[in-house]
Amino acid sequence: MSIGMVVKSNRIGIGINVKLINGSLTSLRKVLDKVERVDFDVVELPVHGLDVIVGGKIRRERLKEIKRILCDYPFTYSLHCPERLNLMNLENIEMEKRVFKSSIDFAYEIGARVLVYHPGRYRSEIKMLLKSSGEKSMEEKLKDLRKIEQEIVRCFIPLLKDAGVILAMENARPFLGERNYTYAEDIGKLVDQVKEIDHKNVGITLDFGHAYLYATYSDKDFLEEISMVRPYLRHIHIHDNFGYPCYFQEKDQNLLVAHGRGDMHMIPGWGRIPFQEAFRILKPVGCFVVLEVRPRYFEYISEGKSVLEILLKGIETGNTL
């Protein structure tokens, strides 16, 4: 897809987990070969799995190697920012800005239409803000950090526009035991942040699994929560779980899968998320619908693609699974 092309219909994609690549371009080819056999439209690549941005800068020779590989396949690409990118990291904000800029530049170079960003991680940044914030309440301090993130994103909007890239800010899973880790686990607060930024090149990636975990943990209605996203929906991550958050070893499914706990990233239909009802409410148009599963479930991606096809067909016809 050429730079700046508008996506007029939903397209089905697969997110490549960083552990499947781990910096190896040989592994990248093997994964793309499998994805091509399953016939996905879109591939979402993790910046942090490709070793193309190092120390905030793009490695030009590495970029050439990656582009040569990607050109051998028929996919449209989306891109996931490094997971540790944090535009609230006041202690090292210039490096964060360099990584952010390089991610946008990389998206442009490979023709990626969407750049996914995990926003709003306060954690260590709260301590720094405490030193200079006087008598402000915690809520006021967190609000200041959200404004800092807004301002930085606005500064990069001209670059996003020139690159033809939509920045899609993703809702987070609940981080149990880490109060004030991120505002983005709360969909209402994420919607407010995107409203404040107020630009067509900035929208939301709705992560179904994260939203379901947050709704069950917070005793909120999942369908009501995700309905708030609809005006700002630009991108979808879809995977399944049982709605049981956990307090430790969140990503070690070897320990958690038997009990169905945590952010499992399973094939849709294996857990409890009500996808049919969710798609009826959202009626997504012009989105990449990206299957995002853990490596342990990668052998089942053909099944996942079939489920997504049925869900999207159901929007058009009104039929159900």
Packed helices 138-163 and 123-130: angle between N→C axes, nearest 10 degrees:
120
DSSP conformation letters of 174-218:
P-TT-TTSBGGGSHHHHHHHHHHH--TTEEEEEEHHHHHHHHHHH
Is residue 321's pLDDT more than 60? no
% of the chain with per-residue pLDDT over 90: 79
Between strands 57-58 and 53-54, the pairing is: antiparallel
Residue 314 or residue 31, greater confidence: 31
- Lowest-confidence segment of 106-115, 139-148, 300-309 by average pLDDT: 139-148
Sort strands 114-117 and 11-15 into parallel, antiparallel or unpaired: unpaired
Report domain extents, the chain. Answer: 11-317
pLDDT tens figures, 87-143? 999 989 999 999 999 999 999 999 999 999 999 988 766 666 766 666 678 788 889
Name which of 308, 306, 309, 302 is nearest 36 in CA terms.
302
Predicted structure pTM score: 0.93
**Helix, coil or strand: residue 20:** helix
On the question of pLDDT at 1 being above 50, the answer is no
| Alpha carbons 110 and 98: distance in angstroms, whole number | 18
Q: What is the pLDDT of residue 255?
A: 82
Query: Of 15, 10, 7, which is closest to residue 83 (Cα–Cα)?
Result: 15
Mean pLDDT of 24-34: 98
For 199-215, how does the pLDDT look when each residue is reduced to its tens digit (9 = 90+)? Answer: 999 999 999 999 999 99
Determine the average pLDDT of the residues in 50-69.
Answer: 98
Residue 263 identity (one-letter amino acid): D
DSSP 58: E
Q: For domain 11-317, is the CATH number 3.20.20.150?
A: yes
Q: What is the distance between the alpha carbons of residues 209 and 125, in angstroms, rounded to a whole number? A: 27
Average pLDDT over residues 164-168: 98
Phi, psi of 110 (to 5 degrees): -100, 5
Q: What is the pLDDT of residues 212-230, one digit of tens each?
A: 999 999 999 999 999 999 9
Q: What is the pLDDT of the chain when averaged over all its residues? A: 91
Summarised one tens digit per residue, pLDDT across range 170-196 is: 999 988 766 668 999 999 999 999 999
Task: Calculate the dihedral angle through the C-alpha atoms of 183, 189, 194, 195, rounding to the nearest 10 degrees.
Answer: -150
Reported confidence tier of residue 31, pLDDT bands at 50, 70, 90: very high
pLDDT of residue 136: 76
